[in-house]
Copies of this chain bind each other. A is one copy, B any other.
Amino acid sequence: MRLAAVLLFLATISAICHTDGYIEQVTQQIHLLRPRSGAAGYRLKDVDCLSWRLAVETNNVRNWKLVPEECEQYVGHYMLGKQYRKDCEIVAHSAIEYAKSLTLVGDGKDIWIFDIDETTLSNLPYYARSDVQFGALPYNDTKFNEWVAEGAAPPVPGSLRLYQTLLPLGFKIVFLTGTAERFKDIRISNLKAAGYYTWEQLILKGEADQGTSALVYKSKKRTELVDSGYRILGNLGDQWSDILGDNSGNRTFKVPDPMYYIS
C-alpha cells in the first residue's frame, strides 16, 4: 500500500493522521513530553508492540519521541483497558509490601516521594482525546496546559491506595513534579479532589530550574531533602528520570507509561 493510501485508511478508521515526523527544535516546557532532543528517533520495522512496551518500561529504549506508528492503537487499548490498571495495581502492591516491611524512625523525617503526572494524577482523559491520541500526535504545550488548568485529573490506579496506606504507617509524603510553579494552586486543588489530602511538601519546578532536565532537577531537589535530614524510603514515578539519579531513595518503583518519555 502506498503511503497516501495507508494514511487515508488510518484517517478513515480512526481519524488519526500523524505525518509530522520528528520536530528538531528543542523547547523546554513545563511538561516536556517526548523531548525533541537527544539521540535519533526510535523506529523498528515490524515492531512487536508488547516487546516495545517492555523495552520502554525497562529503560532499554530511551529518548524516544513518539509511540511507533504500528503501536498507536495498541497503546490506546492498553491505556484504556484492564492491563494498564493491573500493571499499576501490582506496582502499588509491591510498594505497599515494602512499606509495611519497614520500621520507621518516626521523627517525621521518613518520606515517600511521588511524582505527579501519570504517577499520582492521571492525564488519561486528556491523552484519550481525539486531538491528542495517546501522545501519537506531537505534544501541544498550550492544549496540555489548558488541561492542567482544569484541575480535573483523576488518581492513577493503585497510587491513591498506596498513598492511603503510607499515611497511617507514619510516612510523610513529598510530591516532586516537573509542573511549573504557576500551576501550584490548581495542582493543590486537583490533588485534594483526587483524594490526596495532605503532604509534607509539594515541590514544583521554579523559574531557575526551567532549563534543566527532569533527571538533574529531581536529583537536586532530592539532595536538598536529604540535606534537610529527610530519609527517602520510597520513590514512585512513571519516568526513569523520576527514579534514577542522586538520592533516588532506598527503593524505587516504576509506574507504567508507554505514552511519552521525559529525560
Contact = CB atoms under 8 A, between A and B. Distances in A.
Interface stretch (A6-14, A93-101, A121-129, A225-233): A93-101
A49 to B, nearest CB: 10
A85 to B, nearest CB: 9
Interface residues of A, number: 34
Given A57-B58, A58-B254, A60-B254, A52 B90 contact: yes
A15 interface: no
B98 A39 contact: yes
A94 B55 contact: yes
Nearest to A58: B254
Contacts of A131: none
A87 interface: yes
Interface stretch (A16-24, A25-33, A40-48, A183-191): A40-48
A50 interface: yes
B101 A60 contact: no
Contacts of A40: 97, 101
Contacts of A95: 60
Contacts of A101: 39-40
B97 A51 contact: no
A51 B86 CA distance: 6
A83 interface: yes
A48 B86 contact: yes
Given A48-B90, A60-B253, A97 B54 contact: no
A253 B56 CA distance: 11
A155 interface: no
